[in-house]
Structure formats: structure tokens, C-alpha cells
Amino acid sequence: MASIHTVKFLLFFVPWFWTCNFLPLSQGKYDYPYIKKASSFSSPSISDTSLNKAYDYIIVGGGGAGCPLAATLSQNFSVLLLERGGVPFTNPNVTFLENFHITLADLSSTSASQYFVSTDGVFNARGRVLGGGTSINAGFYTRASSRFISKVGWDAKLVNESYPWVEKQIVHRPKFSPFQRAVRDSLIDTGVSPFNGFTYDHIYGTKVGGTIFDRFGRRHTAAELLASGNPEKLTVLVHATVQKIVFDTTGKNPKAVGVIFNDENGKQHEAMLGNDKQSEVILSSGAIGSPQMLLLSGIGPKAELENLNISVVLDNHFVGKGMIDNPMNALYVPSNRPVHQSLIQTVGITKKGIYIEASSGFSQSNSSIHCHHGIMSAEIGQLSTIPPKQRSIEAIQAYAKNKRDIPVEAFKGGFVLSKVSSAWSVGELKLINTNVNDNPSITFNYFSHPHDLKRCVEGIRMALKVVQSEHFTNYTLCKKKTAEKLLNLSVEANVNFIPKNANDTTSLEQFCKDTIITIWHYHGGCHVGKVVSPDYKVLDVDRLRVVDGSTFTESPGTNPQATVMMMGRYMGVKILRDRLGKLAGI
């Protein structure tokens, strides 16, 4: 999920919107009569599993993969999609590009994003809304490389049918901004060539990608892909928080038979699969949610589960392991002229595994949920109110509570971002407790592998050249700044909880470590061959799959959302064809 590094998840407010007790029935030309509150569910007893109250597929997680997967499977089978968050359609902070930062900065329990800090000290977020990451990201849309498709063993023909299925429904050509034009021209002059124009494809050089924001700045999420579902066979429950998977352990392998979930009122329900051996529970809860759910359900390292008094269903010490996040660093680009807001539109793709992107400006719609921006005001992009050693979560909360006026700072400038792709540094995910609402402990071990740090340094050098080019100085009306000045502008900003070496620009390695942030492209935790098979069935467990980015060993393309949504459609079609053959009609 690409973003700007000024977003710090530190706006403290409780929005009035989520206290309303209603669901939208439509979004534009689409109707969603099958989206209901979790409390509307009527639980069958186990003896009723042969009746219509049981489902062919229960999908846990209505995110980038879960929504297209549910829509596709519902063409032939009954599907229950369970999403712990609410709907994105009537939330202006999710819907409008100009409010992009606000949802990420909302730390309330009803926010569409769930804030967490990795043990490395880096701010991060996970989706908690129908549409998942596509409802809270910066919207950039680009396909995976052909190398990635080959590596994961997907059918290229079906892949090339599945991407357009997504694109025709929710993807648009961006309204190109002057700031992005300066980025494009600077990248080409810096040697990131050729210019490949507007394309969804992953090609070396500089290009303009797609976006899920339309020309009016309205976001179109994976939730809209549900409009392609069969309303007679699809049920989508929001505010349905799955507690664990239910297993029958009397056979040779444990067999998934259903799930237990809580509704918005805290009442517990049990949703059951039908008796058909091909019916399945499918986890599509993302790189954090899926391994977390396996662990909570008793699939994972035996010692860790027993330590939390979780009944062990299957001992698999690979669950939660292999967590990777793509490290990103940013250079602040000040401007002497007003800057139009833009999120990621242009990208430089290098053969060294370094991607250069950019974002600019700041805005907030009149219809958005206004709030106090606290000590990390996104408008100014820097922090000067509280001394570095006093910047604690408690200090931030106190500051936000006492600050009564919405800031009026005019943010003029932007950021050039350098991302290390296919990171070699690996971490892990572990449960802290058995409360599914709490984030697990997540460690990414940024730059623990020297190859990642080396590439970061190369990326920062490239970003400096881009920012210092005449295309940027002509646009910003600012004199060319030295590398030291540009680095200090960024290192002074409070971008993580890692102790800083302020004004130390003698070492680009130190700059990388001091200013490390995320671009929200974390993945892993349920790797193929270790947790799931090549067709994503959980190893040594019957009727259970994982379909999402937790199965990836690297993040596809310059942004994973296109491939995650494509994966949902791809696997839906593949499951139907494997189960029905030509009768699938798809």
C-alpha cells in the first residue's frame, strides 16, 4: 500500500460516522442487498449442516483477495464472506483521495485502518474495512512482473484474463499532476529509462501506472467487485469478527467444518460448511490476519500455542515465519509554490530492485470527518513541537487532547520515495495473546541483511539526483539544495520510534536506518511449501485454504494490490474449474 511518509497514524479522534447503525444498499450503479450486519446472522446447529443453512465456502476476510474470490465462487456455490470491519461506501475519509491521510491517522477502534508498530519501531497499518487495503491505500495500480507470475507457478493465460476482470470494474487512468510530471522528467534524466508511458505492466524504466481513484478523486475498492457476485448465493456480513476456525479432528487429518465469529454486539455465532468434501473455509485476511487466525485456531508452533493455552490442532513451526516488509525512505521536497495533491502516479523501475516514486501536497474535503492533527501534522511534514527524546505515545495523546483547533498550516511540497523491492531481511509474527482484536507481535528486521542496506543507499543517491534536477527546481521555484540539506530536512522529521542521529548525513547507511518507514507492502507468514501447498491448501489439513499475500515470498510489482485482487479472481476461477470442469461455465 503505497503512501507518503508524513502520514503517521497519530490523529486522535472518535468519528461520529461509525456510530450510525445502517448499511448502504448501493454505490453508484451497483446494488449490494447481500451486505448485512453480522447480527442479522442466524446460526444453524451442527445437525443442520446438510440443510441450506450451511455454506459451500466460508471466506474469512473481505479484503483485496476476499472480495473478488467471493464474487467469483458465488457464481456456482453458496458463499459466506465475513469481514471484521464496516463498509467503505459512505465513509468520506475512505472514499475521497483528498482525505487519504485521515483514515490512516485515526487510531480509534472503529477506524478503517488498524494501527500497529512493529517491534522494529516502524509505524504501520492493516485494513479493517470491506475492501481491506484497497480502501485505505494510495491507489496505485500496477501488475506483477512476468518473472513473478512464473515464479509462483500461475497459469499465465488465466492471469491475463483475471487482471482485466478487475481493471474493467475499478481501475482508472490518473489525472496527471505537475509534480508527477517533474518526477517523470527527472527520472528519465537520471537514467531510469526508457519512458514507457501509461501502462499497467511492470517494465524497466519510467512509467505512469493506473489508479483506483477516478477523475473526480473518488476511490473504487475491491468491495465494488462484489457487484459481480450472484446475489442469490452470496452473503456478506460486516462487523463479523472471526474468533477461530472449527475443526473435526476425528479423522487422519483435521478437517475445517466452520468458524466462530462475534457480531457487532459481541454475540457469538457459528457458521458451518456443508458436508461436501470439497467445501472449504478460505482465509483471505492478509499477511497479518491469516497467520494470526491459523495460530488462534491451533495451527502453528506447538510450544507457542501451548504457552497461550491454545489447543494444538496441527504442529507447524512455519506459521507466522518469513514475514517481510519492503523498506522505504523518503526525501522531503519543499516548494515555493502551491502544490497540487497527488499520490503515487509515476514510478521508476530499476534492474537493481529499487523503485522511485513520489507524492505531493495535502488536502482535506469539507465533507470529511475533521480532527486534530496532533504533533505530526501532515500539512507541514515535519515535527518541531516536542523534543525528540520526549516523543512518546503518551505525549502524543496528551498533545492531541489539548490541541483544540484544526491546524491551518499550508503544506507546500512533496516527497520522493525510494523503496527496496524483494527484501532479503526476514522477520516473524507471534501471538501476544488470544484476543483476535489485538495486533500480534510483528518483527520485520529491516536491513538485517546487508544487501538491503546497500540497495537503500543506492536508492537514496538516485532520489537525491531526482530532487536536485532542474525539472524539480524549475517546478518548486526553489534553489538547488545540497544533499546534506535535503537529508537533514528528512532526518529531522519524526517518522518512526527509532532513536535518531540528528544531522548525521555523513553516512547514507545511517540515514537509511534512521528514516526507515513502510510502504505497507508486507507479506509472508503462510508460505507455499511450508504452510500451504502450491494450490494454497493448508498442509495436512482438509478443507482449508489461504488466498492472499501471506503466501508471497516477495511483493509483486511496485504495488501488490493489483496482483492480490487478481489472485482472488484467479483462484476463484481455478477452484470452480477444478471442481466443476466445463460445467463451471467460467
Tell me whether residue 585 is annotated as binding. no
Peptide bond into 450 cis (omega under 30): no
Tell me whether residue 527 is annotated as binding. no
Cell 499550508 found at: 410
Tell me whether residue 560 is annotated as binding. yes
Tell me whether residue 523 is annotated as binding. no
CA dist 135 and 120 (Å) reads 26
Reading phi first (left if > 0) and then psi (alpha if -120 to 50, else beta), residue 442 is in: beta
Query: 42: number of CA atoms within 13 Å, CB side?
Result: 3
Tell me whether residue 154 is annotated as binding. no
Tell me whether residue 210 is annotated as binding. no
Tell me whether residue 467 is annotated as binding. no
Query: 389: number of CA atoms within 13 Å, CB side?
Result: 0
Tell me whether residue 126 is annotated as binding. no
**Active site annotation includes 521:** yes
Among residues 5, 372, 373, 521, which one is catalytic? 521
Give the SS3 label for residue 418: strand
Buried residues in 210-246 as b, exposed as e (16+ CB within 10 A): bbbbbeebebbbbbbbbbbbbeebbbbbbbbbbbbbb
Residues 6+ apart with CB under 8 A from 160: none
Give the SS3 label for residue 523: strand
Tell me whether residue 117 is annotated as binding. no
Nearest partner of 187 among 47, 356, 411, 10, judged by Cα: 356
Reading phi first (left if > 0) and then psi (alpha if -120 to 50, else beta), residue 543 is in: left
Binding residues: 83-84, 129, 242, 520-521, 549, 560-561
Binding residues for FAD: 83-84, 129, 242, 520-521, 549, 560-561
Active site residues: 521
